[in-house]
């Protein structure tokens, strides 16, 4: 069955889980709202969302340098207590996120950070392409919505497929870590450096090398 944006938004309001998690839950449960809530709770995603409002001011600045010094990443990941910041699982999470950033080259942490003019420019491109096919306007808008979501998944860290397990998003990996550790965790910001940045071919090669080094 077709899952509507309204269904996804309603489930998100109730559980606080991510958009993609809510859509998957509704898809898996045939659009049944209550079953979708239970699905998210069983996965630990709804429980993780309840912690999202809690202050996370401790944490770590993690780093990852690709062999040969061709790519470097600094990422700030916050948690609630210094105790958790010293936890091996939390530190491993920070390292994995830094490695993911090196390999996947996101531009933003979350979709809310993408400038509105950047999103509108993408929409204009998708709209122009769709109109060339002669599709009606209502269909074109649905196509644009899907394309924009794919755009976010390409450039936003939390919406990217996690490099070590492409069946889940980075947001899902984050939610699982929150559920396991029991504290709110937030990826605040990152910086990615690439040697010779701006040379598209080398940038692509570097990302492939990072993925290979990680055994992906």
Classify the phi-psi angles of 79: left when phi > 0, otherwise alpha if psi is within -120 to 50, otherwise beta.
beta
For the segment 9-32, the average pLDDT, to the nearest whole number, is: 83
CATH tag, 58-111+156-213: 3.30.479.20
Residue 42 pLDDT grade (very low, low, confident, very high; cuts 50, 70, 90): confident
Give which of 83, 31, 89, 39 is closest to 58, Cα–Cα: 83
Contact residues for 186 (Cβ-Cβ < 8 A; gap 6+): 56, 77, 78, 79
Average the pLDDT over 117-135 and give the result: 85
More confident call, 56 vs 11 = 11
Compute the mean pLDDT over every residue in the chain, rounded to the nearest whole number: 85
Per-residue pLDDT at 161 exceeds 70: yes
Domain boundaries, given as residue ranges, for the chain: 5-50, 58-111+156-213, 115-152
Strands of the chain (E only): list them: 58-65, 71-79, 161-162, 165-169, 186-194
CATH topology of domain 5-50: Helicase, Ruva Protein; domain 3 (1.10.8)
Confidence at residue 15, expressed as pLDDT on a 0 to 100 scale: 72
pLDDT, position 47: 57
Q: Which residue has the tokens 């392409």?
A: 129
Q: What mean pLDDT do residues 163-184 have?
A: 90
| pLDDT value for 102 | 95
**What's the pLDDT at 205?**
60
Class of domain 115-152: mainly alpha
**pLDDT beyond 80 at 32:** yes
| Whole-number pLDDT of residue 19 | 79
pTM: 0.68
Higher pLDDT, 48 or 184: 184
Which of the four pLDDT bands, split at 50, 70 and 90, describes residue 64? Answer: very high
Of 76-80, 137-141, 144-148, give the range with the top mean pLDDT: 76-80
pLDDT per residue over 72-108, tens digit each?
999 999 999 999 999 999 999 999 999 999 999 999 9
- Label residue 65 by pLDDT band (50, 70, 90): very high
Q: Is 178 exposed, middle or buried, given 0-12, 13-18 or 19+ CB atoms closer than 10 A?
A: buried
More confident position, 6 or 206: 6
- The stretch 51-66 carries a mean pLDDT of 82
**pLDDT recorded at residue 61:** 96
């Amino acid at each position: 069955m077709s899952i509507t944006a309204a269904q996804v938004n309603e489930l998100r309001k109730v559980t606080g889980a991510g958009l993609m998690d809510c859509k998957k839950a509704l898809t898996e449960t045939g659009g049944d709202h209550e079953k979708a809530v239970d699905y998210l709770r069983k996965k630990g995603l709804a429980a993780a969302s309840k912690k999202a409002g809690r202050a996370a001011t401790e944490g770590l600045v993690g780093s990852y340098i690709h062999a040969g010094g061709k790519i470097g990443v600094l990422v700030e990941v916050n948690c609630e207590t210094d105790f958790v910041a010293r936890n091996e699982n939390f530190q491993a999470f920070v390292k994995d996120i830094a490695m993911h950033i090196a390999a996947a080259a996101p531009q933003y942490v979350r979709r809310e950070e993408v400038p509105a003019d950047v999103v509108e420019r993408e929409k204009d491109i998708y709209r122009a392409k769709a109109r060339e096919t002669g599709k009606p306007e209502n269909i074109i808008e649905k196509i644009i919505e899907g394309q924009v979501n794919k755009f976010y998944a390409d450039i936003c860290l939390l919406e990217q497929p996690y490099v070590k397990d492409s069946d889940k998003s980075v947001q899902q990996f984050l939610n699982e870590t929150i559920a396991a550790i029991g504290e709110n965790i937030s990826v605040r910001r990152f910086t990615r450096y690439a040697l010779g940045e701006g040379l598209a071919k080398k940038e692509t090669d570097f990302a492939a090398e990072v993925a290979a080094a990680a055994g992906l």
